[in-house]
Structure 1
Amino acid sequence: MSAFSYTTIFKRLALLHRPYKKRLTLGLLGMVVTAATEPLVAYIFKILLDNGFVQKPTFPLWLVPIAVIGAFVARGASTFLTTYMTNWVSTRVLTTLRQQMFNRILNVSIDFHATHTVGRVINSIMFEVQQIIEMISKLFTSIVRCVLTVAGLLGYMLFISWKLTIVALVLMPLMMLVVRTTAKRLKKLNKDSLDVNAQLTQVIEETARAQQVIKVFGGETYERQRFAESAEHIRHYSMRMTSTFAATVPVTQIMMACAMSAMITMGLVQASHGQLTAGDFVSFLAAMIALQVPLKQLAEVNGPLQRGMAAAEAVFKLIDSPIERTGGIQLDKRANGKIEFSNVGFSYPGQEKPALKGINLSVKPGETIAFVGMSGGGKSTLVNLIPGFYSTTEGRILLDDLPIEDISLNSLRAQIAMVSQNVVLFNDTIAANIAYGDSAPDRVRIEAAAKAAYLAEMIAALPDGYETQIGDNGSRLSGGQRQRLAMARAIYKDAPILILDEATSALDTESERAVQAALDQLMQGRTTFVIAHRLSTIERASRIVVLSNGSIVEIGSHDELLSKRGAYANLYHLQFSKDAVNVEM
């Protein structure tokens, strides 16, 4: 069952529109004027027929052409006012919703990204929000205006003949039943349609991101098939919605035709008894014909309404997604870098087996701690607890004797720099990527960081130097250059705690040696946590921690652990054995 009722969604949308009450009021005023011109035109027909073809008219006929022009000028001006004001408000609400969604994406926990695909998120921010705005525009410009128009025309029709009007109203409940019946079906179809649209977005996003893998592994046929299947699903749901929607309009129009036929018959009877003039009857028919347009638009609004409601539910679910913890102590100075793991345990949501258990480790300021172990041993999970990406399920982690749960996340993360195996760069300049997160970049520090990461020579050879655009995720750079740029970003931040997760894995031997020298300098005076599959890169660590199945099995220096001939010695000899092939540490 949906967590969002129509009432809940409309209340939230009303709150978004509240700041723009004045402009909405002007738009509503335009609708009132537009609606008022409909019965006015019908009334002009009455005057013209009752006075234009008799010898002694009771109304000055020269006013009729002026009234016609005036009515359409008023309608044009009011329509412009309504359209402009509603679109102005709609674009503001659209921007607000997208901003709220983007802000939420920045503040959600890591778990959110594990359960929501990139395509689904992009689809919500770009496509589903647009569906909401289309629904709002339909509701305001179509429903409100049409209701006002229907009310005005029905009022005029009652004024002319209440008997004829009752006949017209007999079929109204049947028309509403048709609309309500299709509404439920359209809502379900629209929710399913949003899901298949998200799947297609995901296919496109993955294909654009994985071009090299697709070409090397011959995945073109498979990707074409995936795209074709997703596109066909969209076409299938589109046709089901079209058939459902298309059936509503002709049924409504047939009911209108039946009502009109009945009224013509009754009107002729009343006219034969002198109860209606020719002007009354023709103007009533004109009002009745004019009534079909807003009623048809009201029938057609059901489709956008159901699409918008399904989209609004998805959008508000995203906006309401749980965020990371807020509040906490603000650190007013640079941390010393003392880290203590006290009986730390952690389990991923929905998994019974703990990823970490009974972790006890005290790290002095400036120490370099290396984590090694087989894949899945808990190395990355453990370092991800330090910046608060996840919260411990047992025990606690302390920074300078303060539990990190008591420190605000912004303050905590300000003390940490990170370089990971999966480098993330932004489609911006080299300088902007190095100084990322600094609202007032220092050019001297940028150049010093680039030099320390052995990038200065490469940057100097570029025509635009530090202002060179690097492309999507650094696509214009080599793998080693991308890795060193990520290191330069960490060097620029100059944080007291450094996390290196396979930081040199993408470098060739020569580049690794050069960068390792820079890293050795960077690590001086900083508490550093290193994850490395190549054991040769961590031999000089202060201590090496061997993890297996989420627990610490050995701690010591490289030489100490080799002399023990335990788990670390086995890993070390396995890696350097001539018979070892592609063993992931």
Structure 2
Amino acid sequence: MRIAFSANNPWPFTNQANFTKPSSQCTTMTNKEILNRLYQVILPYKGKLIISMLTMVVFSALTSAQAWILKPVIDDIFVNKDSSVLALLPFAIILIFLFKAIAYYVYTFLLQFVGQSIIRDMRTRLFTHINTQPLSFFHEYPTGNLISRIISDVSQIQNAVSNALVSSLRDFFQMIFLLALVFYLNWKLAMFAFIILPIAIFPIVTLGRRFRKLSTRTQEETANVSDRLYENITGNRIVKAFCREDYEDKRFGFQIDRLFSVTIKDARLRSLQHPIMEFIGGLAIALIIWLGGKEVIAGSATPGTFFSFLGALIAAYEPVKALSKINPIIQRGLASANRVFTLMDIEPKITDKEGAISLPPFTRDIVFQDICFSYDNEDQVIHNLNLTVPRGEALAIVGSSGGGKTTLTNLIPRFLDIDSGSIAIDGKDIRDVTLASLRQQIAIVTQQTILFNDTVYNNIVYGDLEASAEDVRNAASAAFALDFVEKLPKGFDTIIGEGGARLSGGERQRISIARAILKNAPILILDEATSALDTESEREVQKALENLMKNKTTFVIAHRLSTIVNCDRIIVVKGGRIVEEGTHEELLARKGEYELLYNMQFK
């Protein structure tokens, strides 16, 4: 089979008729809207900005003084041979450069401080905002895309704020002072110079629009590269198992080529912009030399005045040329800011309602009443389901894949919200209580064990950050993890690697159980907690789960029916409905759906 990568078919194993390319999921904001948002972020640092702008004014005035000082140097020293001016002028030049250096240091440091502070604040706010989103948000936004927005996009904003902002503000003040000097020295020549200025601005404005579009595409393609990297690195076992290294190399190479293509278009425009500005500047200087030279020859202007004018004009044109260099940086920053603010404008779909109360400690029962649920308001996954689970009951939920088992348990901590009906804990609708108080009473152990690249101790204490070292040790013992933890090179201080990569599957699951034991929540959800383990590991984990389940109201999702035979009650979910319920023996005696599942595994 030949795998064809092309612009029209970058994902060759996908049905193109039903496939939509990843979008930026990003609305376009106007420059005014973006700048208003950035202003709100900058506002807390207004004092430092004012000081930096005042020192910029000083710096720009001193730059103009440098250009003006050419006049007395040429006229008074070299033409008139005035020794008194020669005695004073070097000291004046030293003072100009000294105060200019001090001003440069002050405004540069303050603006860099403000820029870095803004980036710190934006990254923190963006991370916090993402953490408030429900599970459905992470289904819509790929991991690599989110990482790209926090790292790459915010870095582009940082570059625009810390570097472009510094340059543009400095150049603005510098140009104002230098143009004032130019008009002071010779207003007629200054008017001729201004004829060239609109011509110089035109390519900046025209190319700026294209830079903005290319910048947005660059950030989108960078996010796609991040997605590809994340998938390949996290799925490297599958890649190797299926010998798909070459395929992944081609797929990643294709994505890199897409990014390269956009980047080259951007580079082509940037390379074109500077020589255009240089040529326009050359035209202006040639015109001024011709006109100014005629005035000097005619005696209507001194050589000092002319060279001072020419120096000031060249210095004033430098900010205009610099604008052509920082314009792409600003456009990239605006494009990235658009992506960041669009993400921050997404309101979490699941939040505390106004007037939500704290959920008191669980004492009685959990009641599901006529609940319905669908993903994206399409086909219903849960249909008018009714269920009452008394405190202390171990309820097993079984059924074929796609029947709605995991969805049902995800509704309890409000990872998802029901479309209709109600879920009540001790008579209180879970939508009327705060998310924090609800989830504080729920512990979860899943098939996909989530551990952090940290020490064993920190992974366990994640269940209760106020727990003592003895509590952590007791939790590990109850989870039958203490023996293997103490054999690790540094015991509880051993770094376990990304996702617990340095531990076996059973060891990872027992650390996860220890974390849940330490949380000591009254409601427990076990979602296929042993399905990925071998028989020996399952035996160890099962003993740990028995300790975890003591005095807990437990929801057990399992495909292995051998793990749930001792549960107080079993419900069979099919097509989002409860089709059977009872004990293991009662369900087998009915010879219905449960017996069919049982026979599929044991006969």
Q: TM range, normalised to the smaller chain?
A: over 0.9
Deviation of 1:56 after TM superposition, in Å, equals 6.1
Q: Which moved more, 1:197-206 or 1:529-538?
A: 197-206
Deviation of 1:460 after TM superposition, in Å, equals 2.0
Deviation of 1:206 after TM superposition, in Å, equals 2.2
1:274-293 map, 5 Å: 274-293=299-318
> Which residue of 1 is the match for residue 78 of structure 2?
53
Match of 2:465 among 421, 439, 443: 439
1:72-471 map, 5 Å: 72-323=97-348, 324-327=350-353, 329-331=356-358, 333-336=360-363, 338-349=365-376, 351-471=377-497
**CA–CA distance in structure 1, aligned partners of residues 431 and 536 of structure 2:** 41
Q: Which moved more, 1:309-318 or 1:522-531?
A: 522-531
- Write the deviation string for residues 289-318 of structure 1: whole angstroms up to 9, x where unpaired: 212321111121210011000100111122
SS at match of 1:536: helix
**CA–CA distance in structure 1, aligned partners of residues 520 and 492 of structure 2:** 20
Q: Which moved more, 1:11-20 or 1:183-192?
A: 11-20
- Write the deviation string for residues 298-347 of structure 1: whole angstroms up to 9, x where unpaired: 12121001100010011112222222302554446421251111000001
Q: Give, as a single letter, the amino acid of the residue that structure 1 aligns with 2:369.
A: S
Alpha-carbon distance change, 172 to 54 in structure 1, aligned in 2, over 3 angstroms: closer
- Write the deviation string for residues 253-282 of structure 1: whole angstroms up to 9, x where unpaired: 211111111111211222233221111111
SS at match of 1:104: helix
**CA–CA distance in structure 1, aligned partners of residues 572 and 491 of structure 2:** 43
**CA–CA distance in structure 2, aligned partners of residues 275 and 247 of structure 1:** 40
Match of 1:477 among 503, 507, 513: 503
- Write the deviation string for residues 508-530 of structure 1: whole angstroms up to 9, x where unpaired: 22332333233234323211101
**CA–CA distance in structure 2, aligned partners of residues 576 and 332 of structure 1:** 43
**CA–CA distance in structure 1, aligned partners of residues 308 and 515 of structure 2:** 76
Q: Give TM-score scaled by structure 1 length.
A: 0.95
Deviation of 1:405 after TM superposition, in Å, equals 0.4
- Write the deviation string for residues 2-54 of structure 1: whole angstroms up to 9, x where unpaired: 44221121112112222222222222122112211222122111111111134
Alpha-carbon distance change, 177 to 56 in structure 1, aligned in 2, over 3 angstroms: closer
SS at match of 2:261: helix
Alpha-carbon contact 1:23-1:85 (below 8 Å) kept: yes
Alpha-carbon contact 2:359-2:434 (below 8 Å) kept: no
Match of 1:488 among 514, 519, 522: 514
Q: Give, as a single letter, the amino acid of the residue that structure 1 aligns with 2:368.
A: F
Q: Which moved more, 1:265-274 or 1:352-361?
A: 265-274
Alpha-carbon contact 2:27-2:342 (below 8 Å) kept: no
Q: Give, as a single letter, the amino acid of the residue that structure 1 aligns with 2:238.
A: V
> Which residue of 1 is the match for residue 566 of structure 2?
540
Deviation of 1:348 after TM superposition, in Å, equals 0.6
Alpha-carbon contact 2:356-2:433 (below 8 Å) kept: yes
> Which residue of 2 is the match for residue 16 of structure 1?
41
Alpha-carbon distance change, 254 to 560 in structure 1, aligned in 2, over 3 angstroms: same
**CA–CA distance in structure 2, aligned partners of residues 277 and 517 of structure 1:** 99
**CA–CA distance in structure 1, aligned partners of residues 81 and 537 of structure 2:** 104
Q: Give, as a single letter, the amino acid of the residue that structure 1 aligns with 2:495.
A: Q
**CA–CA distance in structure 2, aligned partners of residues 205 and 376 of structure 1:** 27
Alpha-carbon contact 2:506-2:541 (below 8 Å) kept: no
**CA–CA distance in structure 2, aligned partners of residues 164 and 183 of structure 1:** 30
**CA–CA distance in structure 1, aligned partners of residues 45 and 336 of structure 2:** 22
Q: Give, as a single letter, the amino acid of the residue that structure 2 aligns with 1:381.
A: T
Matched, 1:503 2:529: yes
Q: Which moved more, 1:507-516 or 1:313-322?
A: 507-516
> Which residue of 1 is the match for residue 10 of structure 2?
none
Q: Give, as a single letter, the amino acid of the residue that structure 1 aligns with 2:252.
A: F
SS at match of 2:496: coil
SS at match of 2:219: helix
**CA–CA distance in structure 1, aligned partners of residues 369 and 360 of structure 2:** 24
Deviation of 1:58 after TM superposition, in Å, equals 9.6
**CA–CA distance in structure 1, aligned partners of residues 574 and 474 of structure 2:** 39
Q: Which moved more, 1:134-143 or 1:550-559?
A: 134-143
Deviation of 1:534 after TM superposition, in Å, equals 0.5
Q: Give TM-score scaled by structure 2 length.
A: 0.92
Deviation of 1:91 after TM superposition, in Å, equals 1.2
**CA–CA distance in structure 1, aligned partners of residues 359 and 419 of structure 2:** 28
**CA–CA distance in structure 1, aligned partners of residues 224 and 35 of structure 2:** 28
Alpha-carbon contact 1:337-1:527 (below 8 Å) kept: no
Alpha-carbon contact 2:216-2:332 (below 8 Å) kept: yes
Alpha-carbon contact 2:394-2:555 (below 8 Å) kept: yes
- Write the deviation string for residues 43-100 of structure 1: whole angstroms up to 9, x where unpaired: 1111111111345649622122112222222221111112111111111111111100
Note the aligned Cα RMSD (angstroms).
Answer: 1.7
**CA–CA distance in structure 1, aligned partners of residues 84 and 195 of structure 2:** 35
Q: Give, as a single letter, the amino acid of the residue that structure 2 aligns with 1:558.
A: H
Matched, 1:553 2:553: no
Q: Which moved more, 1:438-447 or 1:368-377?
A: 438-447
Alpha-carbon distance change, 183 to 292 in structure 1, aligned in 2, over 3 angstroms: same
Q: How many residues align?
A: 576
Alpha-carbon distance change, 518 to 235 in structure 1, aligned in 2, over 3 angstroms: closer
Q: Give, as a single letter, the amino acid of the residue that structure 2 aligns with 1:335.
A: F
Q: Unaligned stretches of 5+ in structure 1? A: 578-585
Alpha-carbon distance change, 55 to 362 in structure 1, aligned in 2, over 3 angstroms: closer
Q: Give, as a single letter, the amino acid of the residue that structure 2 aligns with 1:228.
A: G
**CA–CA distance in structure 1, aligned partners of residues 540 and 169 of structure 2:** 70
Alpha-carbon contact 1:483-1:507 (below 8 Å) kept: no
Alpha-carbon contact 1:47-1:279 (below 8 Å) kept: yes
